[in-house]
Structure 1
Amino acid sequence: MTATLEPPDILSAEFARDPYTAYRVLRDDFPLHFHEAMNTYVVSRYDDVRRAFRDPAFTSENYAWQLEPVHGRTILQMEGREHATHRALVAPAFRGRELTERFGPTIRRNSRDLVDAFRTAGHVDLVDAYATRFPINVIVDMLGLPRTDHDRFHAWYTSIMGFLGNLAGDEAVAAEGLRTKADFEAYMIPRIQERRAAPGDDLLSVLCAAEIDGESMSDEEIKAFCSLLLTAGGETTDKAIASVMRNLVAHPEQMAAVREDRSLIDAAFAETLRFSPPVHMIMRQPAEDVELSGGVIPAGATVTCLIGAANRDERHVERPDEFDVTRPGLGDAAFTAAADHLAFCLGRHFCVGALLSRFELDVGINDLLDAMADIRFADGEPPPETGVFTRAPDRLLLDFTPTGGTP
């Protein structure tokens, strides 16, 4: 008898250990299949995932059950004029001079403070000491909230990400996420009301004051956006920092090139977004029947788009399983809606915080390279990545030679 090949199970322990081998099988043999336990169609080829992000037939209505229970209603589930208006209200704070001049000093100070805490130690768990802290601390400070609340926000961030990554439906994880939503709302709404009454120079005041054609955001909408910013902005940058450093330490010749030419930090970040993206899957919901590689997805179904698989599709990119900071196409376009990789999504829902993440990575990797020479894995080998929905090393134990004082 001939065995029937089954698609890899994206909820299995084997998949969690090594999704990239499974991605290859999915792209080649199961580019579209239905995952019964998750009640979702799974797509893995670059052209199919790219279409799901750009084609108006694919909506974000799935976020009503996926995100709204823990965030409230956010910009991600809006469409049409409502989405365009809300995006225009928040986007200016995350680009150009508004980002670099208003919030640049905050970003640089937070990175420096964290690096200074281990600068002379000679060893560090970069995930615990830096990567998970830096973007959350930046968001708290950008919002103009007390720095003494950094740890509180870090705990909320961890809880919400647990809820969003709870693909197996663990009831305790779900309940904790819902408690966090209530706690976050109780904390944020009074502070939003305070900023309306007495604006400052922080992001929370900017969001309260933002207005287009007489439209502004309600307290609830601002709170929901802050919750989304905490997780979307925190998770991508957190895992990107850990993955960029892991990839560079694992490729000493590329680390040397980046250390010598710091303009290559952007390329290292862009290549990491392709090679080992922070977010491996995003969901969509078609408003009509849609034909993709391997079959038809019916209207109203949930579609899980495997970014981690699409970014390594050999039909689209040469040498997909190699990390290469000299790869063509890793310039400025990699941080715009014209990006070739899919890590920031594409189209109308392209990540509004992409340039914030780029700025943080540039500051952070520069600071880390300035503080640490001869960086090497403490255990002699690159640590494994963990996670399914989002993915990166959960520990990054590094030994290094301290460079001396603050540069």
Structure 2
Amino acid sequence: MTALHEAPDILSAAFAENPYPFYRTMRKEHPLIWHEGMQSYIISRYDDVEKAFRDPVFTSDNYDWQLEPVHGRTILQMNGREHATHRALVSSAFRGNELETKFLPVIERNSRELIDGLRDRNPVDLVEAFATRFPINVIVDMLGLPKSDHGKFHGWYTSIMAFLSNLTQDPDVMAEGMRTKEEFAAYMIPIIRERRKNPGDDLLSTLCAAEIDGQRMSDEEIKAFCSLLLTAGGETTDKAIASLMKNLLEHPEQLEAVRADRSLIGAAFAETLRFSPPVHMIMRQPSEDVELSGGVVPAGSTVTCLIGAAGRDEQHYADPETFDLFRDDLSTTKAFSAAADHLAFCLGRHFCVGAMLAKTEIEVGVDMLLDAMPTVRFADGAPAEAGVFTRAPTQLWIDRAPA
């Protein structure tokens, strides 16, 4: 195919303002791009991104330089038996009876407390007042850490996400990320050691006591997992709430359908993950030369997988530029499992271990928000999205005045 447009630069200001038209050009004309500044190949078609997530030839070795400097070595960098063992050590806390009985009350309490605090504020910025705080507060409470430290964790979360989103390698952002890593370790390691001696009924105690075939997680591994949970669990839920509410407010008939039938919140979340996902790109590294649409990627190269582009692939979804929670080419029942037909949680062996936690937080939070806002509209027009690595509205001003 002869390209009609130059390959987009994903670090350009125009791309950051609105990547979706560029995603279309990439899928149609430039499915494989070498970006010199990022030293990475970029892929945008659903089938290619799915292959990068499922095919064992693609490794997560890129996390050695991408994540380890700020988190330490995490489960995302592990493979084979080591990965399977560590995933089993942590996964039980994020699904089934453990999630339902132990952590659902934590989620409900934190949602209620934040919503009680915004009831008398009208208009209110849902991002500042709820979305950015809710998942971080939940994680801190799940770990059994002091409520007085919510603000401290929110600051660490912001710093680490800036580090991970630092595609231009700004040295000040990198230095702040390193300081945060040291502060977080200095805070967490003594608590982990104390929790081993005096366990409680919390996630941190569960992680300290978890054992498979005589193997337990080290203090450093638990600290690294908590750091990863803080950002991965916080960022996805934070931005998903903001984007989901924006999508519903832009489609009043779908908002009213969800208001009338709260079981549709899961479908609205799944469609948001396809249409405007919290994380727009994830990197992988092939262990051998691999063929993708547009050419061959050499072994050892970094491949940037554009989830935001793949979710609107015309070859995979009907009318992909339209938000429609009732679409029949996206399964809500599979959307939060490794069989998902969207890519926002990855697929395969590194499918997001916290997917059900995120779903539970979204269902509880949005349900309570709708109860607290029987009438709601944008206070000052639809907000713009922002971000390249992760993306969502940075503000979401709404008011509850009658339409």
TM range (shorter): over 0.9
- How far 1:330 moved relative to its partner? 3.5
Point out 4+ residue stretches in structure 1 off by more than 4 angstroms. Answer: none
- Secondary structure (helix, strand or coil) at the match of 1:111 reads helix
What does residue 382 of structure 2 align with?
382
Residue ranges of structure 1 left out of the alignment (5+ in a row): 403-407
- The answer as to whether partners of 2:99 and 2:357 remain within 8 angstroms in 1 is yes
Over residues 294-337 of structure 1, what are the superposed CA-to-partner deviations in whole Å (9 max), with x where a residue is unaligned?
Answer: 00000000000000000100011000000001112332200001
Tell me which residue corresponds to 1:216.
Answer: 216
**Distance of 1:121 and 1:26 partners within structure 2:** 43
Which residue is equivalent to 2:171? 171
Name 2:142's counterpart in structure 1. Answer: 142
Superposed, which structure 2 residues align to 1:21-100 within 5 Å? 21-100=21-100
1:59-102 deviation per Cα after TM superposition (whole angstroms, max 9, x unaligned): 00000000000000000010111000000000000000100100
Q: Which residue of 2 aligns with 1:368?
A: 369
Moved more, 114-123 or 288-297: 114-123
Do structure 1's residue 308 and structure 2's residue 308 form an aligned pair? Answer: yes
Q: Is the 8 A contact 1:62 1:283 kept in 2?
A: yes
2-structure distance, mates of 1:95, 1:286: 31
Per-residue deviation at 1:5?
Answer: 3.5
Amino acid in structure 2 at the alignment position of 1:101: T
TM-score by length of 1: 0.97
Contact 2:4 2:29 in 1 (8 A): no
CA drift at 1:55: 0.1
CA distance in 2, matches of 1:248, 1:4: 35
Paired residues of 1:280 and 1:388 also in contact (CA < 8 A): yes
2:70 maps to a residue whose letter is: V
Q: TM-score, normalised by structure 2?
A: 0.98
Helix, strand or coil for the counterpart of 2:374? Answer: strand
Task: Determine helix, strand or coil for the equivalent of 2:305.
Answer: strand
Structure 2: how far apart are the matches of 1:334 and 1:106?
24
Q: Distance in 2 between matches of 1:316 and 1:325?
A: 16
Structure 2 unaligned regions, length at least 5: none
8 Å CA contact retained: 2:144, 2:202: yes
SS in 2 for 1:47: helix
Backbone CA RMSD of aligned residues: 1.2
Does the Cα contact within 8 Å between 1:242 and 1:396 map onto a contact in 2? yes
What do residues 174-217 of structure 1 show as CA deviations (whole Å, max 9, x unaligned)?
A: 10001000000000000000000000000000000000011110
Aligned partners of 1:71 and 1:228 also within 8 Å:
yes
| Aligned counterpart, 1:398 | 398
CA distance in 2: counterparts of 1:95 and 1:3, whole angstroms? 46
CA contact (8 A) 1:69 1:178 kept: yes
Q: How far apart are the structure 2 equivalents of 1:4 and 1:138?
A: 48
Name the CA shift for 1:376/1:41 in 2 (closer, same or farther; >3 Å): same
How far apart, in 2, do the equivalents of 1:318 and 1:73 lie?
Answer: 40
Determine the C-alpha separation between the residues in 2 that align with 1:327 and 1:3: 32
Residues paired across the two proteins, number: 400
- Does the Cα contact within 8 Å between 2:141 and 2:147 map onto a contact in 1? yes
For the residue of structure 1 that corresponds to 2:334, the secondary structure is: helix
Alignment of 1:4-403 (within 5 A): 5-328=5-328, 329-379=330-380, 381-401=381-401
Measure, in 2, the Cα distance between the counterparts of 1:104 and 1:52. Answer: 34
Q: Percent identity?
A: 71
The Cα of 1:226 is off from its aligned counterpart by 0.1
Distance 1:67 1:3, change over 3 A: closer
- Is the 1:271–1:330 contact (alpha carbons within 8 Å) kept by the matching residues of 2? no
